[in-house]
Amino acid sequence: MSDTKEVQNPAENIIISQTVAILVDGNNIERSIHTEANDTNTMLNFDALIPKLLVNRGLSRLVYFREGKHISNKLQERLHNFYHGSVRPCHKSADIPLSINAIQLAHKVDTIIIMSGDSDYIELVRHLKSEGVRVEIAAVESTTSRFMIEETDYFHQITKDDWFTLPTKKPQKRRSKKADSK
């Protein structure tokens, strides 16, 4: 008889059933990736980033807050069609609308991921944690407040693997009237 025991990985038997809300400060994240990539045509790749943020958890809400009235219809459609997400235009900054939405969601989800490195959210993070919500942030490290990283339960670093750059449109050459008449 052998004394050898087969060791089973305990993680294989764990079922994770957390619900997650992802709240995006669009202007903050866009500025961060534009700065990091040194290109204003750089956009978040939600198809790469969302699964990385969720791991084995369920997505309950995805809300993209964006200052200004001009918000890409393609972004709105993509977030709605693939993630049942929504885009909310903000009068000025996203800080207040995002904070209100986070507080409203606090008793409906297990985790809130704030996509922003802005230290303006520190009091929100503290409040959500006091309510028993796990708070994570996802941001570009070089533009993220150290205080935010220290206050949250987990920091997801957004890297160049999480964005793409749109090709720049080359100006079309104008054809002369002579070329058109030939």
User: How does pLDDT run across 82-125, given as a tens digit for each residue?
Assistant: 999 999 988 888 999 999 999 999 999 999 999 999 999 999 99
Residue whose entry in the numeric block shows the structure tokens 């958890």: 57
Nearest to 115 by CA among 64, 166, 178: 64
pTM of the model: 0.83
Residue 1: burial class (beta carbons within 10 Å; 0-12, 13-18, 19+): exposed
Where do the domains of the chain lie? 26-166
User: How does pLDDT run across 44-82, given as a tens digit for each residue?
Assistant: 999 999 999 998 899 999 999 998 767 788 888 989 989
**Helix, strand or coil, per DSSP, at residue 106:** coil
In sequence order, the 6+-apart residues with CB closer than 8 A to the CB of 48 are 161, 162
Q: Residue 178 and residue 4: Cα distance in Å, rounded? A: 89
- Please answer whether residues 161 and 47 qualify as being in contact, where contact means their C-beta atoms are separated by less than 8 angstroms: no
User: How does pLDDT run across 2-51, given as a tens digit for each residue?
Assistant: 455 565 666 677 777 899 999 999 999 999 999 999 998 899 999 999 99
- Please answer whether residues 27 and 67 qualify as being in contact, where contact means their C-beta atoms are separated by less than 8 angstroms: yes
**Cα–Cα–Cα angle for 144, 132, 121, rounded to 5 degrees:** 25
Nearest to 166 by CA among 30, 66, 28, 52: 30
Q: Decide if domain 26-166 falls under CATH 3.40.50.1010.
A: yes
Q: What are phi and psi of 108, to 5 degrees?
A: -110, -15
> Which amino acid appears at position 108 of this protein?
K
Q: Can you name the residues that pair with 63 across neighbouring β-strands?
A: 23, 86
Number of DSSP helices (H) and strands (E) in the chain, helices first: 7, 8
